[in-house]
Amino acid sequence: TTRDEQWNKRYREVWRFAKKNHRGPSRHHIEEHSLLNWMKFNRKSFNQGKMKDERKKKFLKLRALITQFHRVNQYM
């Protein structure tokens, strides 16, 4: 369960970051790289079908949260 606890802790960190900053972690800010790397690793394992089911639901919620902050081109 230690791995699950670590995963959940990092999940909460990224969630709080996204809520506070209205965006996902950026590669342009060095202090955000650990959060970004966590997102990238989990995106890859999700896409490869290697993620546990209980993590899938949470990860999809996190991605939906971050996606809602994406800008939409007003001229399209």
DSSP 75: T
- Only one residue has tokens 């900053």, namely 21
What was the pLDDT predicted at 49? 96
pTM of the model: 0.87
Q: What confidence tens digit (pLDDT) does each residue in 11-45 have?
A: 999 999 999 999 999 999 999 999 999 999 999 99
Residues 46, 35: Cα–Cα separation, whole Å: 16
Q: Is 51 helix (H, G, I), strand (E, B) or coil?
A: coil
